[in-house]
Every structure is written in structure tokens, then in C-alpha cells.
Amino acid sequence: MVYTSTRDAGVNVFAAEAIVRGLAPGGGLFVPTKMPRITGARLSEMVSFDYLGRARGILGDFLPDFTAGEIDDIVLKAYGGGSFEDSGIAPVRKLSDELYVLELWHGPTCAFKDMALQMLPHLITKALEKIGGGGTLAVLTATSGDTGKAALEGFRDVSGTKIIVFYPENGVSHTQELQMVTQEGENVLVLAVKGNFDDAQNGVKEIFADGELGKKLLEKGILLSSANSINWGRLMPQIVYYFSAYCDLIKTGEIRAGDEVDFVVPTGNFGNILAAYYAKLMGLPVGRLVCASNKNNVLTEFINSGVYNRNRDFYATKSPSMDILISSNLERFLYHVSGGDHEAVGSYMRALRDSGKYEVCAEVREKMQGLLWGGHCDDEDTFKTIAAAYKKYGYVLDPHTAVGMNVYEQYRGGAKAERKTILVSTASPFKFSSTVYFALSGEDEGDELGAVKKLAGEYGLRVPPSIEALWQKPRRFERGVRKEDMKSLIAKELLG
């Protein structure tokens, strides 16, 4: 199977090249030209497999240029090394006969980004080897919180790689900052940029755009790369847990093979929910995909009207990983929903770049509305939902998952569900302890560590070991950098 570009039918590459390049030439995204089919028989067989076995099967279909042994090795390194503290890797919890939670936060950083970023480094180094590249891969990432830490944990001490993360000095939560500045590993560097997330991201983009620097690095055998969520290598591992959750519900007798289920996904960049759509295209019996947004509700409006308009106020919310106005992975969805229309996708994306806005044709809008249901809620409703869900189910939600729960209630509208629903949980409540503790108790703890302790003590929860250890770890990275100095610092760091 080969991969093409969402914007250019002339692009045809193998998986290894798509993964190493990240972005298709001409600015499009890589998409598979043919969707693998998982038949009912194969799905039934998968029920008896563990998470690693399920991952091997799905990955194998998308990576025909990798051997079975290579895929085994990648899956084992990602999920078999003990970095996930739940043996199910992505376990499903039952809240009621109609509602289940898929917990994607048992990895080392307590957010769902680990599901992909524990695998990407092994995928990308193997892919690089396949296309004949040697030397060192230098991964540069600007982060607003969750991605940076997950990338650091994924790439730490992976041979042949270096990982450098830039975060905005005053733009991440206390826990997120601690997670990054205490990062262990010999090949890691963390820098605080004096500016906001856009400054950090623009600085990284400028480094990538500097052909002169790129050439000098290549002469020294260093290839620049990013751990961006538009890389196919980040998307593909996310498809696995949709199949896995479905298999778990069959295994526990909650559904019968073939029954349709709905998924509710707290959404920012549209990566996670897109993986659910891929699972559906591959044959997983999925009814609706419910797309949940916070106050930055550009996607809700798009799903309802067919008009994508990023010209709007940006809100910093209590579910910060969903504070996004340009959902990059939506481009892939539009490609598939339009029946592979490269021209149409290209024109939408040009309009987005030039005017911040585009409108899809009626056919695409109707098809989209058949697949997706969009809703949103603000911070106040997020707090209320955290409290209400605890009361109703005895289950503590993080703010992102709470947005999902709120939108699920809107979707149901008080009626009995047509299908069973799986709510996708994207972070541990302990990653946002003060917000969650405030929502539950009405008390502002003020101090993050204090909130962690109270949340555990008063609500009978176990603190994830990686969060508990944070306050004892030495701070390794105290260096700040001005945005105009990012490039010279990288040149010095990598070229010596």
C-alpha cells in the first residue's frame, strides 16, 4: 500500500517515507490510498489478543514495507517495556449499562499523547533506516504542554536521536512545567522561551525553514524532524485503541460482535477523533462520532454549518490541550469524505491560509453530518460536569474528558441511547489537580501539590507514580531563551 498527499495525486510514497518526511511535498498531509479492511472474522480473532497483539495486527496492515519482526519490535518497545502502569495499556471502565470510559492516560506522562509518542520514536528510527538515512535524528518540538513532555518521554535515550523541546515560559501549568524541567535522559534538552506558544512555534518553524542551516546539519549527518501530530506515525497507533476498546466490550459481554457503538472524543487538533473515523472506515461497527470542543468551538460551528472560520477570539480555557483554532488533521477527514478530491481539499486549505475561512460543498457537509455530531461547553459547565459525574458515577474526570461528558449529555438530550457509548478519556485528573479539586469541592487549594494530595485523600484516588515523584526530582533545565535567539542556540547545540 502506498500513501498519497491530500492535495496532490502525484505524490506516491511508501509508509517509511511518509513517516520520515512528516509533511507531504507541497504542504499536504500523507493519507493511505487504500483502507485496510478488518473483517468480522478478524475482529472476533482479535478479541482474544492482548493490546500488543491487537496493535501488531492493525499496524501490519498499514506498514507493508515493514517486516513482521520489525513491527513486533516496535510494538514491544512502545507498550511492552513497563512504561504503562496498567497492564491493559488502554483499559475500558464501565460507568453504566450505556456508558463506558476508555482511559488513554496510563502512560508515563498521564495524557493520551503517550499512546502515539511511546511508539513514534521507534517507528521513525526504523523508517529512517529503511530509506537509507543514517546519522542522527534531531527532533524539535514547540509545546503548549502535553505534547512536549510526551515527546521527551518517548525519545529519551532512543539511540540515534536527540529531542529538544521549547515551551512558553509562562504558558504551561505548574505540573506540566515540572514534568518537563525534571526530564531524565542523556539526549534531551528543554528550553523556556520568553514569549507565548506562538512565539515558540514560529521560532521552530523558522529553524525548519532555514535551508542553509539544514544543509550544514546534513553535512554533519543530522536530520531535523518534528513530533508533530500531523505525522502519519502519530495517527496510526491511535487507531488501535478504538479496535481494542470494542474487543474489550465483546470480551466482557457488554456488546455482541457487530453491534454498533458511538464514541465521544474531546477534540483539539482532530487527531484522536480522526483515528476513530479510520477505524470505522476499516470496518469497526461505529455509529456516530461525537466531537466535543471547549469554548474554542470552531469545530462545532463547522459541523453544523459547513463553514470553517478561524477569524474569532481565542480563549485560554481550563481544558488547555483543546485550545486550538486550526485543527490540522481535519484536512485528512475532508479528503476522505470528499471521496479523495485533492483539488477540493487544496482549495479549502488555500482559502484557510489566505482568508482564515472556507465553506465545504453541500455534499461534503451532509456526509460529514451523517458521521459526526458536534457540541461544546465552557469552563463553568466543565466544572459542573466534573462534580455531577462524580455524584452520578463516583468517577473523577479530568477537564478535557469532562467536556466530552458534557457534550455526550447534550447529544443524548435526555433520551435513551440508541447505542452504547464509549467516552474517550484523554488525561488523568491528576494532571490538572487544582482545576479538578476546585470543581469537586468548590475550594481553591492554590498550591498544585496540595491539590494533588487532597484529590487523592478526599476522593479515594491513587496518585499516578510519575506525578507523585515530580516534587522530589531535581530540576535539570533552567535555561531560558529569547525567541530571536532560538535558531543560533540550536545551531550551536547541534553543530558544536
Ligand X SMILES: *Cc1c(COP(=O)(O)O)cnc(C)c1O
Residues labelled catalytic: 113
Instruction: Give me the residues that bind ligand X (CB under 6 A), please.
Output: 111-113, 146, 229, 266-272, 321-322, 400, 426-427
Distance CA 423, CA 361 (A): 30
Nearer to ligand X, 43 or 265 (CB): 265
Minimum Å distance from CB 64 to ligand X? 26
β-partners of residue 375 are: 292
Distance CA 60, CA 449 (A): 43
Nearer to ligand X, 464 or 486 (CB): 464
Cβ contacts of 242-245, under 8 Å, gap ≥ 24:
242/275, 242/276, 242/279, 242/284, 242/286, 243/38, 243/43, 243/46, 243/54, 243/58, 243/279, 243/284, 244/51, 244/54, 244/55, 244/89, 244/90, 245/90, 245/92, 245/100, 245/102, 245/422
Nearer to ligand X, 150 or 255 (CB): 150
Rg of the chain (C-alpha set): 22
Nearer to ligand X, 125 or 327 (CB): 327
**Which among 465, 412, 429, 424 is positioned nearest to 319, based on CA atoms?**
429
Minimum Å distance from CB 56 to ligand X? 23
Minimum Å distance from CB 427 to ligand X? 4
C-alpha cell at 260: 454498533
Nearer to ligand X, 161 or 428 (CB): 428
Distance CA 474, CA 268 (A): 32
Minimum Å distance from CB 136 to ligand X? 28
C-alpha cell at 432: 490538572
* Count of CB atoms situated within 10 Å of the CB of 343: 11
**Which among 208, 219, 42, 18 is positioned nearest to 127, based on CA atoms?**
18
Minimum Å distance from CB 60 to ligand X? 24
C-alpha cell at 433: 489537580
Residue 442: strand, helix, or coil: coil
Nearer to ligand X, 417 or 463 (CB): 463
Minimum Å distance from CB 111 to ligand X? 4
